[in-house]
């Protein structure tokens, strides 16, 4: 009789362990998500000459996170995308000298996204899509500011 009770108890314990394992795994997968907050963050705008108001072409725009580099087009437009929202900044540099109408100074701009910049809501760890317009005015370097390469 003792052996039969022990066998039934062991079988019962195994069945409970299997059921709890299945239920625990299935409910954990439905309610938990692992990772870090992320989203799609875009900064776009126009780069212009502060004095003339004219767009500036071929200005290098570099993002901090992954070293992405783009250049402003003929209308001075640029468009940079980030995959997260941590310490984003842009470095704006004139690397072609006088070819784009003058030699312009370098700027670094911190970019902060807010709920007002959100264009699409996300779910769980995905925060959604954000778009921010950041127009940039560059000033020409003075003769004594020009660097010699």
Question: Are residues 83 and 119 both part of a single domain?
Answer: yes
- pLDDT given for residue 133 in this prediction: 94
Using a 10 angstrom Cβ sphere, with 0-12 exposed, 13-18 middle and 19 or more buried, the burial of residue 52 is exposed
Question: Are residues 17 and 75 both part of a single domain?
Answer: no
Q: What are 128's two structure tokens?
A: 């959604």
Task: Give 10-residue mean pLDDT values along the chain (149 residues).
Answer: 64 75 62 70 93 93 76 94 74 83 88 91 89 93 55
CA 20 – CA 146 distance, rounded (Å): 72
- pLDDT given for residue 67 in this prediction: 61
Instruction: Find the CATH number of the domain harbouring 70.
Output: 2.60.40.10
Residue 148 located in a structural domain: no
Question: Are residues 49 and 113 both part of a single domain?
Answer: yes
CA 87 – CA 112 distance, rounded (Å): 8
Please give the model's pTM, rounded to 2 decimal places: 0.68
- pLDDT given for residue 40 in this prediction: 87
Residue 137 located in a structural domain: yes
Q: What are 82's two structure tokens?
A: 């980030």
> Structural domain of residue 24, as residue ranges?
1-32
């Amino acid at each position: 009789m003792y052996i039969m009770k022990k066998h039934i108890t062991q079988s019962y314990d195994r069945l409970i362990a299997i059921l709890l394992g299945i239920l625990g795994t299935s409910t954990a997968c439905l309610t938990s998500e692992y990772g870090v907050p992320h989203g799609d963050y875009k900064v776009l705008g126009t780069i212009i000459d502060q004095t003339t108001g004219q767009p500036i072409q071929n200005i290098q725009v570099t993002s901090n996170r992954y070293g992405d580099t783009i250049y402003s087009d003929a209308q001075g437009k640029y468009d940079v995308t980030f995959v997260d929202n941590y310490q984003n900044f842009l470095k704006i540099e004139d690397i072609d000298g006088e070819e784009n109408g003058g030699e312009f100074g370098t700027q670094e701009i911190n970019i902060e996204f807010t709920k007002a910049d959100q264009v699409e809501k996300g779910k769980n760890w995905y925060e959604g899509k954000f778009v921010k317009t950041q127009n940039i005015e560059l000033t020409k370097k003075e003769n004594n500011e020009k660097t010699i390469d």
